[in-house]
Structures are given as structure tokens and as C-alpha cells.
């Protein structure tokens, strides 16, 4: 029995963690869409969705059923294999970074409280005691890797291939134009985003997302969150994040007033839903990165004076604080959509290359000088 548990335990923990993380992120995405429709309705003097369930809370499930039962149309002259592959590439690249997100601190003994209740039951008591021992110091991260920042930036940058392939394979001039715009836009703003992250990496001395959080915890009180010493980098990252996720005012790849619906003009039913989900999962991803890099991730100053570090209440409150910070960024996305107009494409490119990238590089140089003098 023990040998079976030893073999299966890591796979069971990883599988459960992945399922819970993916399910949680998809639920946040679903209700972000509902919140966006409600908030935009409030901004525009409308009620928003209010028919499905109390106050419209079941609207995301109604939308899912609509996508499932909607007629799936495929253009006759499209490149079929690439046409079907493109939305899968976009959503997969959006979901994969979830495995390295630090959702909370380590829990010292998450199952220790359960052992006394089942200790008198044969087999079950022994198995529970063994599992509780294995679960000690359990991190709320599926996979902790030393280059988590590079992993997230690398995987999300591949997502542009899904959009470009969708534009090319649809055999539509509107889709192709949207795909070309997306490729140019993401390449332009990825440079500024990467440069904005370098300052945080130099201050923390690591590319591990958990390591960056602990570097902020161990920093002096006046710079406990890296948003203080890296405010310029934070602003650059936030602006580049809007461009990377194709959101207003940088939503040129799917500009409905110019390109019908951009790169997904020829998509319908579930394939359109995959692109739709990928956009909002990417919003979640950049919100997580903003939170981890600049706002201390799950860390809440002063919480260790209320709850014992490593306890379940400490981990729970830290996790809720992490989700709260992410929701604040998601609200900011929605607020900007209801407030700002769309840029022209030439303005978008000029802003990225002539202003944002030089500012990001200047921030890197300034950080190098500061770190050099601090360490000398």
C-alpha cells in the first residue's frame, strides 16, 4: 500500500493542482466577462445582463451553451488543418503559464489537523498520516522553476502564432489584415515588456516568480513592493500588457469598425469561443505578472503579525489578497475599455518604438546604475 502511494502521490497532487488551477482561472475568466458587460453597462447608462439567474450571474453558462449549440461554419477555401489548429494554439499558450503561478505561500502542515480523527481506522489512518507527512511545506504552486519569468514571457509570445495562423488560413482579407497587425503589434511591444521586467530581475536577483515575491518581502520597508523603486518599469509593463492582450486602446488586430472582427472574422461557435477565452486568460496572465513583479504577489504587509506564517489561515488570506490584486487589474482593463478610444495603427507603432521602448531601456540603465552603487 505504501509503495503504491509513494508512486502515485506526486502524480495525484500534480493532477489535482492542475485541474483546480485551470478550473479556477476559467471561472475567473467567465465572470470577468460578466463583470465587463455589467461595468460597461453602468458606464454607458445601461443595466447590462440581468435575465439569466439572479442579477444575471448565470449569464456565462448561457453564453457557453450558445457557443456549443451554434452552427459551426468553415470557409470553403480556408486551409482546414491550420484553420482548426489556430484557436487551439492561442488558448494553449494562454493557459500553460498557469503551472508556474505562485498562488500563495507554503503551508507548513495542511493535513495535520485531520490525522487525529482517522488515526484509529486501519489502513485509512496510516495512509492519512503518510499523506500528511508528504504534504508538509506544500507550496501553492504547481511547478516551481528557476526561470519562471522567461517561461511565462516565452509561452505567451508564442500565442501570436495562433492569431497569425488564423488570419492566414481563413482566406479573408479582413482576417489576414488582423493577423498581420497582431504580429507587428506583439513584436513591437514585447521588447518594451521584456525590458520593463529586467529592472525587477536585477533588484531581486532571480527569474523565479516565488523568489521575486520573497525578495520583496525581505526588502526594506520603504520599497517592500517593487512598484516603488520600479514605478517607471511598472507603467511600461502595464501599457505593453494592453498591447500584448489586444485590448482597448490597442485592439487594432480585431478593430470591428475597420476589419469586421479582425483575425477571427471567419470563426464561429466553439472555435470563436476558444479565441474569446484566450484573450481573457491572457488578461489574467498579465494581471498575475503585474501582481507578482510589482505588488508583492500574495504578500500582505503585517499579516504575519496576525496569523502564524505557514498556517492555513495565513495561506488563505494571502491567496485571497493575491486574487484581489488580480481583480483590481482586471477592473482597470474594463475601465480603460469604457473610457479610451482606439489608436490609429501608425500611432500604435510610433508610440511603441519611439517612446515606450526608449523609456524602458532608460529605466534598465538607471536600475543598473542604482544596483551598482548599492552593491559597491
pLDDT bucket at 149, cuts 50 / 70 / 90: very high
Give the per-residue pLDDT at 248.
81
Cis bond leading into 249, ω under 30°? Answer: yes
Torsion of CA 282, 213, 306, 25, to 10 degrees: 20
Report the alpha-carbon angle 162-165-167, nearest 5.
Answer: 110
What's the distance, Cα to Cα, between the start and end of the chain in Å? 57
Higher confidence at residue 344 or residue 62? 62
How confident is the model over 101-127, as pLDDT tens digits?
Answer: 999 998 888 877 776 766 667 666 677
At 53, give phi and psi (nearest 5°): 80, 170
The average pLDDT across 223-227 equals 85
What is residue 340's predicted lDDT score, i.e. its pLDDT?
87
Residue 18 has what pLDDT? 83
What is the average pLDDT across 354-375? 92
Report residue 315 as a C-alpha cell.
495561506
pLDDT, residue 226, reads 93
Provide the pLDDT for residue 3: 65
Average pLDDT, the chain: 87
**Best CA proximity match to 185, nearest among 238, 256, 242:** 242
**Residue 236 buriedness (CB in 10 A; 0-12 / 13-18 / 19+):** buried
pLDDT at residue number 220: 82
170-197 pLDDT, tens digit per residue, is: 888 888 888 888 888 888 899 999 999 9
- 246 pLDDT higher than 60: yes
pLDDT attached to residue 260: 65
Q: Decide if pLDDT at 371 tops 80.
A: yes
Number of H helices, E strands in the chain: 14, 0
Cα–Cα distance list, 174 to 5, 179, 345 (Å) = 55, 9, 15
Amino acid at each position: 500500500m505504501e509503495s503504491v502511494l509513494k508512486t502515485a502521490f506526486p502524480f495525484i497532487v500534480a493532477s489535482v493542482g492542475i485541474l483546480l488551477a485551470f478550473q479556477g482561472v476559467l471561472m475567473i475568466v467567465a465572470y470577468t466577462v460578466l463583470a465587463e458587460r455589467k461595468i460597461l453597462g453602468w458606464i454607458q447608462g445601461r443595466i447590462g445582463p440581468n435575465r439569466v439567474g439572479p442579477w444575471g450571474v448565470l449569464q456565462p453558462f448561457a453564453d457557453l451553451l450558445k457557443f456549443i449549440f451554434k452552427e459551426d461554419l468553415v470557409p470553403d477555401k480556408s486551409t482546414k488543418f491550420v484553420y482548426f489548429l489556430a484557436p487551439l494554439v492561442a488558448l494553449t499558450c494562454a493557459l500553460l503559464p498557469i503551472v508556474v503561478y505562485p498562488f500563495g505561500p507554503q503551508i507548513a502542515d495542511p493535513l495535520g489537523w485531520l490525522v487525529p480523527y482517522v488515526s484509529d481506522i486501519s489502513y485509512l489512518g496510516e495512509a492519512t498520516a503518510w499523506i500528511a507527512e508528504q504534504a508538509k511545506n506544500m507550496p501553492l504552486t504547481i511547478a516551481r522553476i528557476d526561470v519562471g519569468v522567461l517561461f511565462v514571457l516565452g509561452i505567451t509570445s508564442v500565442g501570436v502564432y495562433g492569431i497569425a495562423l488564423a488570419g492566414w488560413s481563413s482566406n479573408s482579407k479582413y482576417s489576414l489584415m488582423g493577423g498581420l497587425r497582431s504580429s507587428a503589434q506583439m513584436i513591437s511591444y514585447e521588447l518594451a515588456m521584456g525590458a520593463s521586467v529586467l529592472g525587477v530581475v536585477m533588484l531581486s536577483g532571480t527569474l523565479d516568480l516565488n523568489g521575486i515575491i520573497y525578495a520583496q518581502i525581505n526588502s526594506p520597508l520603504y520599497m517592500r513592493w517593487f512598484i516603488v523603486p520600479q514605478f517607471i518599469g511598472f507603467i511600461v509593463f502595464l501599457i505593453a500588457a494592453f498591447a500584448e492582450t489586444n485590448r482597448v486602446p490597442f485592439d487594432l488586430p480585431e478593430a470591428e469598425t475597420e476589419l469586421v472582427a479582425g483575425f477571427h472574422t471567419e470563426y464561429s461557435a466553439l472555435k470563436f469561443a476558444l479565441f474569446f477565452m484566450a484573450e481573457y486568460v491572457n488578461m489574467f496572465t498579465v494581471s498575475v505578472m503585474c501582481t507578482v513583479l510589482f505588488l508583492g504577489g500574495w504578500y500582505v504587509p503585517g499579516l504575519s503579525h496576525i496569523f502564524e506564517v505557514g498556517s492555513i489561515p495565513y495561506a488563505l488570506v494571502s491567496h485571497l489578497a493575491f486574487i484581489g490584486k488580480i481583480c483590481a487589474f482586471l477592473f482597470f482593463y474594463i475601465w480603460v475599455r469604457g473610457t479610451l478610444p482606439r489608436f490609429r495603427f501608425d500611432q500604435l507603432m510610433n508610440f511603441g518604438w519611439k517612446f515606450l521602448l526608449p523609456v524602458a531601456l532608460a529605466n534598465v540603465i538607471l536600475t543598473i546604475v542604482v544596483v551598482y552603487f548599492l552593491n559597491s
